[in-house]
Every structure is written in C-alpha cells, then in structure tokens.
Amino acid sequence: MKKYNTTLTIAGSDSGGGAGIQADLKTFSACGCYGMSVITAITAQNTQGVSDIYPVQISTIDKQLDAVLSDIGADAVKIGMLHSSEVINLVAEKIKEYNIKNLVIDPVMAATSGDKLLQDEAIAALKNELLPLAAIITPNIPEASILLGREIHSQLDLPEVAKQLSFNQNVSVLLKAGHLTEDELVDVFYDAEKEEIIRLPSHRIKTLNTHGTGCTLSSAIAAHLSKGKNLQTAVKQGKEYIDQAIKAGRDYQIGHGHGPVHHFHNWWN
C-alpha cells in the first residue's frame, strides 16, 4: 500500500480563505501532502480585516490533537495562530507527548491588516514553552521585534537577530524581510544544525495580494519536511513556492483589501 506524506496544521480558521487553516491545507495539497487540521480559534475575517475571534475551548483542541496524532500521526507539524497562553501550553505538552520532530512554527501575532491575533500575556508562554521545541521558526520583522523586545530597522541587522532568536543555536530561524522598505528583499535563514547563515534574496513584487503569505510559506516548509527533505532544501523550496504563488496571484482581485496568493499556481491560472 502507498503511504501519504502527512502534514498537520494547528492554527485558526480564516473565513475569507486566504490565511490560517484554509491557506495551510491548500498549501499542503499543492505541495503533494495529505493535510490535517486542529482548529484553535474561529475568526470572522476577510480581505479587509478581522472582525471577531472566537476561541475553541481547550478540551476540544485537546481532543482534536489526540484524534489526529494517535491515529494518523504527522510527518511534520505547522503551528500558526494559538491566541492564548492556555492553548500554547497545551500544544507544547502534546508536541512533547507525541515526540514531534519536524515542527515549523509561524509565531502569528497579527494579521496582514494589523489586527492582533495573540494576547499580550501569551507572548511569554510562546517564548518559554513552545518556540524552543521547533525545528524552525519563521517570524517577520514585527514578530521578531516583539520576541526580542527591541526594534529592527536595517537589513544588516537580520543575521544577528536570527542568531539571537535561535534559543542558543537549538532552533533554526527564517527571518522574513518583507516589512523592510528595500525593493530587493533578503530573507535570512539561520541553520542551527550547521550554525550557518544563508541569505535568500528575492525582488519585491508589487501587489496588494499578500494576505496569508506567512501561513503559506511556513506550511510549504512543513510540507517539504514531511516529504523527507532536509531543512535547507525545505526552506529554499518553500521560498520558491511562495514567490511563485505571489506572482501568480497578483493579477486577481478578491474582495476590497489584501487578497490571497494563488496557492494552486502550478495547477491552474
């Protein structure tokens, strides 16, 4: 019998379909994996912003995690919006209980629209309990600033910032440069396994359709890890996938704000 490469997302639901669980499952499928989900919160959300967040009760998140991991398992896990310290602590316990190795964490704190998606008191739990368990974390500039407690202003700062976020060289870091102002973006990947800095340049794509880019990139990395790729290959292929998804989606219009990327650009246009 054939075996699927299984990839699990633990994140919030985006009713607009561009980010969160919906973007993750689209990405897993587009990258050739069997996707599963544990929903941590339901958002009322579209291209213009988040109008409501309804947290899923802890016991239901707990049962979702056990249902998936005890039966199907997961070759890789991607974590996105967790919202509260209570949820973060539960997920950290389950990651350890089921001995998850290929763990990709996108430390989601705000939507593209700027709406807050993580409670302030949960940041300490995220830093202390969950992030140290990751194989790789994928913060953007604002998220890295919050985690470090200081502003980041220059592309030149990124290699040192990535090292500082690596929990004493135990966690690899893909630090995304999209919030800087240069036309030439250089994401910085710190490979903790090899203690190596890799610069990943790309040209800024002029488009409003950037909703869910962080979710999509981290999910693509998780998908490639679940297929047995090493971390450097998974990061490079994940970057290539999101770049092409942004390019393919720039000519579409959905809604009146920040539209999504084109997750299935390799399949239809």
Q: Which of 15, 6, 71 is nearest to 211 (CA)?
A: 15
Q: How far is CA 64 from CA 84, 94, 198, 253, 260, in A?
A: 17, 11, 37, 35, 27
Which CATH homologous superfamily contains domain 6-249?
Answer: Ribokinase (3.40.1190.20)
The catalytic position among 9, 138, 213, 216 is 213
Instruction: Write down the pLDDT at residue 149.
Output: 87
> Which pLDDT belongs to residue 183?
66
Catalytic: 215?
A: yes
pLDDT score recorded for residue 69: 98
Residues of 214-236 as b/e, b for ≥16 C-beta within 10 angstroms?
bbbbbbbbbbbbbbebebeebbb
Q: Is 31 part of the annotated catalytic residue set?
A: no
Q: Is 116's pLDDT higher than 80?
A: no
Per-residue confidence (pLDDT) for residue 180, from 0 to 100 = 64
pLDDT given at position 108: 82
Per the annotation, the verdict on 249 as an active-site residue is no
Band of pLDDT at residue 154, cut at 50, 70 and 90: confident
Q: Which of 149, 150, 171, 153 is nearest to 162 (CA)?
A: 171
CA-to-CA distance for 98 and 133, rounded, in angstroms? 12
Q: What pLDDT digit, counting tens, does each position of 42-89 carry? A: 999 999 999 999 999 999 999 999 999 999 999 999 999 998 999 999
What is the pTM (predicted TM-score) of this model? 0.95
Catalytic residue among 78, 94, 176, 239: 176
Annotated catalytic residue, options 6, 27, 210, 216: 210
What are the structural domain ranges in the chain? Answer: 6-249
212 in Cβ contact with 20 (< 8 Å): yes
2 is catalytic: no
Judge whether 210 counts as a catalytic residue.
yes
pLDDT, averaged across the chain: 93
Residue in 212, 238, 249, 259 annotated catalytic: 212
**Tokens 């302030």, residue located:** 120
Residue 115 pLDDT grade (very low, low, confident, very high; cuts 50, 70, 90) = low
* Catalytic residue chosen out of the listed positions 16, 18, 20, 214: 214
Question: What would the two tokens of residue 102 be?
Answer: 């290929």
Active-site residue flag, 138: no
| Percentage of the chain lying above the pLDDT 70 cut | 95
**pLDDT tens per residue across span 230-242:** 999 999 999 999 9
Candidates 26, 78, 215, 249; catalytic one = 215
